[in-house]
Structures are given as C-alpha cells and as structure tokens.
Structure 1
C-alpha cells in the first residue's frame, strides 16, 4: 500500500497548472479553457454550477445569499475557502464550465495541515479532456504552497465515474460515513 503522504504520479496536464495558459483548444482555436481563481463576478455562474452539481448528485441547493457568504469566505483575511473555475476565457456571461473549492484544515490525529477538497465539478461537455486532472494538479500545487502533505475529499457512493477518475490519479479510498446535524 502506498504511503498516504506520497503525491500521486500523474502525467503532465495539458498545460502547467494555474498558468492561465489554455487547457484545451478545438481545431479552429475558438474554444479555449483555462483554470483560474474564482472572482466575485463569477458568483452568479458559480451558483448555477453548484445547482447543476447538486442535481448530478441527486440533491438540491437553495439560494441563501451565497454571494455575501462567498465574498467573505473567498476574500476574507485569511480566506476560509479557496476556489478555481474552468473558464472559456471570454468576458461573456455563461463561460464557466466547472469549479473546484477547497480549504486548509488541521488533522487532530497527525496534528498536520491537509487540504480538504470540498467540491469539484465539470459540465459533461468538458469531461474527459484532461481538465479534471489539471484541476487536481492545481490543487496539489496549492497544497504544497500551504505546507500540506495530503488532500482529502469525498464523493457519493453511486458516482462510479468520479471513483474511476480518482483511482486513475492514485488516490486511495477511505471508507467512512459522513453525517450531518442541523445546528439551527
């Protein structure tokens, strides 16, 4: 079994992670995708992507002033949430094709920081182009920048496509049950 602190040996992405260089171009070079940090002007499209992601997982999210909460979470000092989007690179609305969010946490057992990947989602039309792998490589880069030796995340049990993707990265599944309890 591989050490949980060994970084995966995944092949080079289509571009250097977080370089703002194009990730994908079609033959006419009119469709360009890039991974970049989330900006406040992305919030309405991000909410739409989150709704699609929730529906994909058989859930629903309700609008509850996410933009206000996201603004302080992403851009507070220090940020509580970090995020990236997959963008077509134009100024036109409707150009986001995916997103990823994460936070740095501390493990009680190891007393070391790790990155928790909260969400990663790509629209179906941009899956299987190497973008998910590039996003994960960006996350590994982020983890290293923050002194983290591990990334943790979860996925719903029925998401076989995600499980296959994560296995292809060298990720190791950890069987646990996630619970939720209202504090309202």
Structure 2
C-alpha cells in the first residue's frame, strides 16, 4: 500500500535527514553523539560508484510548495542463514514530535513491510531503547514483539581498534 506522504529519499533530502538524526539523538539523550555528515550519508545512500549500502524513506507533510520532510526511516539489508533470505534492519525511525500520531510512523513501517513482501524478505527488525515506552507501545500495537533471548554486543572505539 503506497502512502502519498512516503517516498524514497533523494540527495536533496540529506540536510533534512541529518537534521532528523540530530533530533533523534537529542530524544535518545545523546545530543553530542552524531558524527555523521551529509557527505557520509551521500556516500552510502547515493554512491557515485556502485550500489547503495543503505536506504532511506522520508515522510512529508504540508501542501504544494510548502511540503517538507518531517520523518524518516533509514535502513539496510541483512541476511539470515536460517531462512537463506535477506531482511531489513531499520536503523532509525523518527517522526518530528508535532507529527506523531498522524500515521506517518506507521506508514513508514508499512512501506518497509511492503518492500519485504515484494522482494521475498523474511524479516523486518529494529532495536529500541528499553526506556522508550512510547515507541515500545507503538511497535507492540502493530504486532511487533521483542526478541528478548538475544543480547546485542558491540565493538567500537578502542576495543574495535585492538
């Protein structure tokens, strides 16, 4: 089902997408954590050599020439050895606070679910901070369930360098 306010991001959307990433960092109580630049996003979303390694859909609001990006879903492909198929990992879903409850967040997720179905992908997965009760309630209202038997591990910084 196509939603009229959801579309693939274009290179011209990168300032808005990066702005939303900064807003998300503030919401997640990490206001200084964003290191990414528009050039970083351009290199993975719209590379000049080869295929994109990440993808982004945006949600717009407004009428005519006053339409603007107010939400985004940034994602990449995964692969399951158990299913032998790709899936989507949703890295970030964000809708500006004044547009929450408008259906745009659900439309972004529905768009990704449609991509999964159309391409034969078997999973649409994402992570959510344990304290983020509003988002957890929203995801569970859509039928999503936590995968509590798995723990996420990460190497970064000095540990990754070693």
Contact 2:25 2:34 in 1 (8 A): no
Matched ranges for 1:19-30 at <5 A? 21=4
Higher helix proportion, which one?
A: 2
**Divergent runs of 4+, >4 A:** 89-93
2:2 corresponds to 1:17: yes
75-84 vs 135-144, greater mean Cα deviation: 75-84
1:43-101 Cα shifts (integer Å, max 9, x gaps): 1121111011011111133344x2222112112332111111112355569x2211101
Q: Which residue of 1 aligns with 2:51?
A: 78
Contact 1:122 1:132 in 2 (8 A): yes
The TM-score normalised by the length of structure 1 is 0.75
Please give the alpha-carbon distance, in whole angstroms, between the structure 1 residues aligned to 2:119 and 2:40. 23
Matched ranges for 1:66-145 at <5 A? 66-76=37-47, 77-88=50-61, 91=65, 95-145=68-118
Greater length-normalized contact order (CA 8 Å, ≥ 6 residues apart): 1
Contact 1:17 1:135 in 2 (8 A): no
Give the one of 4, 16, 26 matched to 1:55. Answer: 26
Q: Which residue of 2 aligns with 1:38?
A: 9
Q: Displacement, 1:121?
A: 0.5
1:172 aligns to what SS in structure 2?
coil
Q: How many positions carry a matched residue from both structures?
A: 153
Please give the alpha-carbon distance, in whole angstroms, between the structure 2 residues aligned to 1:109 and 1:179. 20
The TM-score normalised by the length of structure 2 is 0.84
Please give the alpha-carbon distance, in whole angstroms, between the structure 2 residues aligned to 1:135 and 1:143. 13
1:36 aligns to what SS in structure 2?
strand
Structure 1 runs not aligned, ≥5 long = 1-15, 22-33
2:73 aligns to what SS in structure 1?
strand
